[in-house]
């Protein structure tokens, strides 16, 4: 695999009145994300802040979408990639972040593992800050989407303040940032992810629902958006629990359901990237983006915020 190594970003220099995160000339090329919502920092920053690392940085905004799952291997990374691809197709400036530091490999999933550019293990943020425009410029692309991947077999996971600095920097210069948070460990590790709209992927099987109930009981997120996926294999739809029955068991609504898509599964297993073949699943992806978009309020956003806003002209 070909990658750039050991690229260090110096903290940007700002003058009074400049927007945070990047130079004025770069910022003028892209309108700021609408309906920004700043997450208040704890006094002194989160615990474990190293000496010399500051807590001031570009704010986390309402353009952040976090995708997590209640168990591994049920398609959360695929759904995150599909959402980012759809937002890019709609002309949003969009970035896709691989925050699954237990497994990672989003670039392999997308088939861009040989593309040059930065990965998480090649980023340094010694002062807890990264220039968003510079980071955006050096990321590999999958179609219209910039991708910040993490290859667990090729480097160590970043410290929490480095990961948070990368998320903040990308939120500052993109109109949508989709984060693949794996099984949720990243949400506990990166404080800013609590401020994003949360999509929780669960499997519509007996075991999957039992795991989902336990997962939801351990979390206190105000309003996660639940996304059900049909169990893979078996006798077509016979192994899937009906949505109404699943909602009754969990006590919360399941907003969207993905059906089994065997051609997509084959493409992923063979390293051919993520290409939905099911018309119903394409419609589901579009509906989720509509839910997160300007026409309705995204889950987890405070009252008055209107989601991601409009795409680029």
Q: Domains of the chain: which residue ranges?
A: 58-292
Closest CA to 12 of 66, 57, 70, 67: 57
pLDDT in tens, 281-303: 889 999 999 998 743 333 333 33
pLDDT at 196 over 90: no
pLDDT of residue 277: 66
Which SS3 state, helix, strand or coil, does residue 307 take? coil
- Please identify, in words, the CATH class of the domain defined by 58-292: alpha beta
Strand order in the sheet with 145-148: 141-142, 145-148, 94-98, 176-180, 64-69, 197-203, 225-229, 256-258
pLDDT value of position 181? 93
User: Considering only 25-29, 144-148, 171-175, 231-235, which range has the smallest mean pLDDT?
Assistant: 25-29
What pLDDT sits at residue 175? 93
* Contact between 3 and 119 (Cβ < 8 Å): yes
Q: Pick from 186, 227, 193, 18: which is nearest to 99 by CA?
A: 186
User: How many alpha carbons lie under 13 Å from residue 208 in its C-beta half-sphere?
Assistant: 25
φ, ψ dihedrals at 134, nearest 5°: -65, -40
Q: Are 222 and 195 in contact (CB under 8 A)?
A: no
Q: Is the pLDDT of residue 72 over 60?
A: yes
> In the block, which residue shows the tokens 């179609």?
143
What is the average pLDDT across 173-191?
89
Most confident of 24-38, 129-143, 274-288: 129-143
Q: What is the pTM of this model?
A: 0.76
Strands (E), the chain: 7-8, 64-69, 94-98, 123-124, 141-142, 145-148, 176-180, 197-203, 225-229, 256-258
More confident residue, 203 or 221: 203
Question: Does residue 142 or residue 20 have the better pLDDT?
Answer: 142
The SS3 of residue 54 is coil
Model confidence at 46, in pLDDT bands (50, 70, 90)?
Answer: low
pLDDT at residue 37 tops 70: no
**What tokens were used for 291?**
């839910």
Place 4 in a pLDDT band, splitting at 50, 70 and 90: very low
CA distance 184 to 217: 14
Asked if 308 and 175 count as a contact pair (C-beta separation under 8 A), the reply is: yes
Strands 141-142 and 145-148, by their bridges, are: antiparallel
Residue 30 has a pLDDT of 39
- Dihedral sign computed on CA atoms, order 291, 258, 284, 250: negative
């Amino acid at each position: 695999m070909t990658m750039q190594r050991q690229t260090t970003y110096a903290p940007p220099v700002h003058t009074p009145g400049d927007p945070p995160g990047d130079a004025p000339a770069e910022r003028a090329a892209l309108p700021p994300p609408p309906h920004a919502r700043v997450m208040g920092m704890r006094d002194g920053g989160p615990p474990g802040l190293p000496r010399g690392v500051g807590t001031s940085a570009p704010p986390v905004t309402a353009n952040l979408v976090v995708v997590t799952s209640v168990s591994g291997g049920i398609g959360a990374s695929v759904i995150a990639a599909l959402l980012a691809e759809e937002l890019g197709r709609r002309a949003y400036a969009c970035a896709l972040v691989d925050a699954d530091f237990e497994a990672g490999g989003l670039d392999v999933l997308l088939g861009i593992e040989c593309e040059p550019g930065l990965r998480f293990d090649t980023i340094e943020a010694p002062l807890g800050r990264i220039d968003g425009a510079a980071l955006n410029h050096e990321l590999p692309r999958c179609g219209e989407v910039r991708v910040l991947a993490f290859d667990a077999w090729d480097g160590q996971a970043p410290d929490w303040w480095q990961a948070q600095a990368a998320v903040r920097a990308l939120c500052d210069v993109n109109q949508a940032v989709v984060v693949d948070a794996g099984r949720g460990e990243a949400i506990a590790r990166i404080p800013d992810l609590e401020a994003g709209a949360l999509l929780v992927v669960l499997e519509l099987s007996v075991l999957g629902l039992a795991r989902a109930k336990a997962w939801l009981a351990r979390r206190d997120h105000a309003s996660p958006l639940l996304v059900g996926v049909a169990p893979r294999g078996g006798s077509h739809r016979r192994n899937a629990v009906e949505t109404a029955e699943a909602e009754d068991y969990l006590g919360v609504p399941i907003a969207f359901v993905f059906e089994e898509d065997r051609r997509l599964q084959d493409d992923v297993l063979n390293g051919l990237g993520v290409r939905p073949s099911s018309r119903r699943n394409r419609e589901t992806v579009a509906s989720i983006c509509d839910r997160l978009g300007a026409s309705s309020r995204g889950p987890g956003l405070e009252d008055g915020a209107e989601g991601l806003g409009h795409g680029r002209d």
